Amino acid sequence: MSGPVVKPVVLQENGEPSGIRGTRKLQSRQIDGRILEGSIELVNEVGPDQFTLAELARKTSLTTGAFYRRYDSSDDILNDVWKVCWPFLRDFAESSYVGHSSSKAELETTVSSFVKPSPNARAAALILSASRRVPLIGQRVREDVESYCSPQLSDDPVEAGLRFASLSLVLGRCLLSEIVAIDVAAIEETARLMIGTPRIEVPVEVNVSPIAFALESEGMDSDLLDAGISLISRVGFEGTTAARLARESERPFSRLEKEFGSKSDLMERLIESLVPPVLDFQNLLRDAQGIEESAVAIASWNAEENTTVRRLVSEIILVANARVRIGRIVSDNLEARARVLAELGIEEVALVRGAWHLGDAYFVGMSALGLAVTTTDMDFSGAVSALTLMREKSMEAAIAGVQDSSDLGQFL
């Protein structure tokens, strides 16, 4: 008895199978594309922590079965999103080097990216910020980012540090792009200064001891605040529940319910109490004058003893991207300095406003990047150079823009 007849597969001119098999293969690729496109959109809308297959199914009009035939979990999908989107974030960083020689067209592209980062670059930034909590994604992120800016994998430690600085800058801008409005003219003027201007050479002998930060806040009982800091830095905002807070602070759960009503109210109050003191640490970067102070600021911010504070910054910014009210709190705190500039009469000095924007981005980006990669033995001279240059040029512009400059130092 003869076996079943196997019909030969007929290929089209492009090498793809024709007939039913070809149709199925094409449909499968179209579904893969819909999943990836929808996933990037969803990450941009709700962030990686609230990314679920149920939400993705609604967005793509696909059944969850279509996902499970291709992926084991939502983390696998996020891993693929990272693989597709990381090159966009990396190329954004490449175009933003201090000292990078840019044509007018390249400069315009970089400025456009600062004003409105691409969805792909922003998706990569959000995934990078949350990657430490997901081993599958974290491993891939760490390998990709460290291959880009790790001193252990680079023949030129200074170049590695410069890449770390540039990646921090664009990472921070992506994370802030939907939270804080940006002044286009200010970024244009600042980008022309920072990109294409030779970076300040940092002496090898600059050696600093980092400063350890102490976090203090008003507006919430210290034991509850300490419990919140501990939990958020360990398990993130989404993993911090009212029940966990009650156990960590050694308070009855019923007391928290009576005092705050709901977990949402409790967590918003907690974040509201943390935002001002946490963001205030940016003063260290903002107020640095000269190479030595810039070196201290950057070394301190990336020091191991300040890991908890960096985690809090990253968690707060992630939550601010997903929750409108938290985003407004962060925005109000960051934009408060614009009112200071107005009071000094220098709100029209674009270079000063641009320096503020870049300072915010460095602060947020270094917080997230320092958690995703190992910064031990990192040569931060590139970042020190950028910070020093930005500070010096913005001060020059501010002094030129006002008659009485005696009090500028404490604000700029």
Residue 367's pLDDT band (cuts 50, 70, 90): confident
7 in helix, strand or coil? coil
237 in helix, strand or coil? helix
* pLDDT beyond 90 at 299: no
| pLDDT reported for residue 23 | 47
* pLDDT beyond 80 at 179: yes
Higher pLDDT, 9 or 73: 73
Instruction: Report how far residue 276's alpha carbon sits from residue 329's, in angstroms, rounded to the nearest whole number.
Output: 9
* pLDDT beyond 60 at 293: yes
Range ranked top by mean pLDDT from 24-33, 251-260, 281-290:
251-260
Residue 35's pLDDT band (cuts 50, 70, 90): confident
Higher pLDDT, 182 or 245: 245
| Token pair listed for 143 | 């390998």
Instruction: Report how far residue 358's alpha carbon sits from residue 175's, in angstroms, rounded to the nearest whole number.
Output: 12
Weakest-pLDDT range from 7-16, 225-234, 351-360: 7-16
Mean pLDDT along residues 127-137:
84
| pLDDT reported for residue 389 | 67
Of all residues in the chain, the percent with pLDDT exceeding 90 is: 9
278 in helix, strand or coil? helix
User: For the stretch 239-275, what's the b/e string if a residue is b when 16 or more beta carbons lie within 10 angstroms of its beta carbon?
Assistant: ebebebbbebbebeeeebeeebeeeeebbbbbbbbbb
- Burial (CB count within 10 angstroms: exposed 0-12, middle 13-18, buried 19+), residue 214: exposed
Residue ranges of domains in the chain, CATH in brackets = 19-71 (1.10.10.60), 76-213+281-401 (no CATH)
| pLDDT reported for residue 1 | 46
Mean pLDDT along residues 202-228:
69
Helices (H) and strands (E) in the chain, counts: 19, 0
pLDDT tens-digit readout, 325-350: 888 888 888 777 666 666 666 555 66
Residue 21's pLDDT band (cuts 50, 70, 90): very low
* pLDDT beyond 90 at 401: no
Closest CA to 30 of 68, 56, 60: 60
Mean pLDDT along residues 144-158:
70
Higher pLDDT, 305 or 321: 321
* pLDDT beyond 50 at 51: yes
| pLDDT reported for residue 120 | 95
Instruction: Report how far residue 2's alpha carbon sits from residue 103's, in angstroms, rounded to the nearest whole number.
Output: 71
* pLDDT beyond 50 at 408: no
Closest CA to 360 of 308, 313, 300: 313
